[in-house]
A = this chain, B = another copy of it.
Amino acid sequence: MALFKKSPGKVRLLVLGTGGMAQAHATAFAKDPRVELVGTVDVMPGRAAEFAKKFGIKKHFTDLDKAIKWGQFDAATNVTPDSIHYPTTMKLLAAKKHVLCEKPLAENFKLANEMATAAEKAKVINMVNLTYRAVAGLQKAKQIIASGEIGEVRHVEASYRQSWLVGNHWGAWDKLPMWLWRLSEKHGSKGVLGDVGIHILDFTTYAIGMMPTNLQARLKTFHKAPGDKIGEYVLDANDSASMIVEFQNGAQGVIHASRFMTGYGNTLRLNVFGTKGGLEIQNDHDLTTLRVCSGEDVHTQAWRDIVKTEAEPANYLKFIDAIVSGKNGDPSFRRAADLQKILDACFTEEASKAVKL
């Protein structure tokens, strides 16, 4: 696939958005000697100027259109609020800019698909910042599964475990806007499913190299405050989400996520069981464990820790790699759209049909 390739010289990057996550992006890109931060945009007056000053960026804008008109950049990293990803990215694509977009790519499959299609037509680098790709051990897990060491996948158990609705380790969920908005659909939240369910879906399907072909799902919002409301926040977004999925080869599995998995801060756990072995990977920040039972060990249930793992670089680096090489990186917009399709399905009435007991 011949995409627009980077001309010699540094990649000139526009930072779209100036919030906390944008600062993380800017900090990461600033370390890459192949990148020059050339502009930043924020619609809130003064914020772009301040951000530009902090990161030594020459140009700042309060309007993406003006930045595009100026045009002296090769690529943009889109760190705007979730609902703004679509309109801003579409403009960038129209201007033939490479785009790294924060997750979720869009609010639903229709928009995400449109974005993926537009990016493919524009032949620009298009990536989504699904951060858990960089987990030490995920690449190794994927390689082990792809090598056939555990045979054909038969059964999967995957979960994303958080507990910030119980513990105070991430601050007061009932006071801080950064958590409250995640509990409210009107504030753009798709609940735990949209927030981290997408990560465990990506993690799982990336590791096993297969997508689900059908699913059943259950979303649950628990009563957490009088009138299910705190200030302006209506607490209606899902807190727990559970799925039964069937994969392309007929394997089945459960995938679930909750903000009530007390005792876990931010844990992804994946168990993959095949016809010749089993594999388990668990990650929480820098702590990853990966173990395998295969070969003759399937008869004795002996497990060995995989002690040599090689983490993928962060998406920031992979985005620049892609621009430099002219070969699109993974996870792409297309990948994000495919995941969005699964999330959308979870919200359908049909997915949650249950038998009363």
Contact = CB atoms under 8 A, between A and B. Distances in A.
Contact of A155 (B214, B217, B240, B303): B240
B357 A214 contact: yes
Interface in A239-291: 239-240, 242-244, 246, 250, 252-254, 256, 258, 260-266, 271, 273-278, 280, 284-290
A211 B357 contact: yes
| Copy count, this protein chain | 4
A46 to B, nearest CB: 33
A304 interface: yes
A300 B307 contact: no
A222 interface: yes
10 contacts: A33-B33, A155-B256, A216-B218, A263-B301, A285-B307, A286-B309, A287-B306, A287-B307, A302-B302, A302-B303
A348 interface: yes
A348 B355 contact: yes
A345 interface: yes
Given A262-B274, A301-B263, A345-B357, A216 B216 contact: yes
Contacts of A288: 287
A357 B343 CA distance: 10
A353 interface: yes
A260 B286 contact: no
Contact of A303 (B243, B260, B296, B304): B304
Interface stretch (A82-90, A163-171, A316-324): A163-171
A284 B304 contact: no
Nearest to A163: B298
